[in-house]
Amino acid sequence: MDHLKGRVAVVTGASAGIGAATAIKLVKAGLTVVGIARRLQRLQDLKKMMEEKNFSGRFFTVACDLTNETDILNAFKWIDDNIGGIHFMINNAGIIRISKILDGLAEHWQELIDCNVMAPTICSREAYKLMKKHNVSHGHIIQINSITGHSYSINPGNKMYNASKQALRVLTEGLRHELAVAGDGHIKASVSLFTHVQWYTFIYYLDELVELTQAVIAIMEDMKTKLIRYSRYYSSISPGFVDTEIFDAAKMTHNKMKASDILSAEEMADMICFVMSTGPNILIAEMIVLSQGRCIQSYPRA
């Protein structure tokens, strides 16, 4: 992580769980982190702990209700005015609501959509705007999804939560598509559906073809330089069961599960740091993280 020192990361849901663990690791590694969450006191306590331990990075706190677009816009305006550009957007915040389709409350469904779908989408949009405005190279948006974004929940009350995470998976791929088509907003050769890694492979392959004229090679080299300079990445990390407060907030219990079935927030933070630390020509588009012995699709225990 040494090569990331001094870069700026925004982490939502930073007051607890995966978000707090990630913020700690990043500030300890020398990054500037903006922690966004509703519970300002929790964020301030986290900041105090980091200062007492003399971490080499910096931690800023922004109170924000991520289900309120105006709050989100104000948070990013604060970042723009006080920090400037950002290199990493880590959309971690999420909620669970147990609410059946047959007799559930529409307000609970709306909360799920607002927090799990709309919030990360709005944050991604605003982060991308700041990356463009400040000409940030190698910008990276990381989505913390869920294993239920790739499977179907066996719990009757989890269907809307399940749907919100499936929607997030589709939107993640959709944003990658838009980034490719738009050429990251800086690349003029915008009519391409290749991923960045495929572009590099394609360009290097063309460089080796002796039949190409020098003019064509020059054009492709110019495209390659712009791709490397203005890369924008979008990754999705989908964990299985993680020991965080999200279960308590939803009045769920996982104490019937074996300890080996549950990941820790620190283990997930390690995975996020791994994705962030990859080279500029590598994109981990999708990562599913499970504890040993778990399956992507849940099944009733025998």
Does residue 108 contact residue 122 with C-beta atoms inside 8 Å? no
3-state secondary structure of 256: coil
Cα–Cα distance, 294 to 262 (Å, whole number): 9
Catalytic residue numbers read 161
Between the CA atoms of 144, 145, 146 and 152, what dihedral angle is there, to the nearest 10 degrees? 180
The kind and range of the H/E element at 34 are strand 32-37
Closest CA to 80 of 111, 45, 34, 41: 34
Between the CA atoms of 250, 256, 260 and 266, what dihedral angle is there, to the nearest 10 degrees? 20
Closest CA to 62 of 49, 78, 51: 78
Closest CA to 96 of 212, 250, 220: 250
Cα–Cα distance, 265 to 243 (Å, whole number): 6
Closest CA to 72 of 89, 95, 96: 89
Does residue 262 contact residue 241 with C-beta atoms inside 8 Å? yes
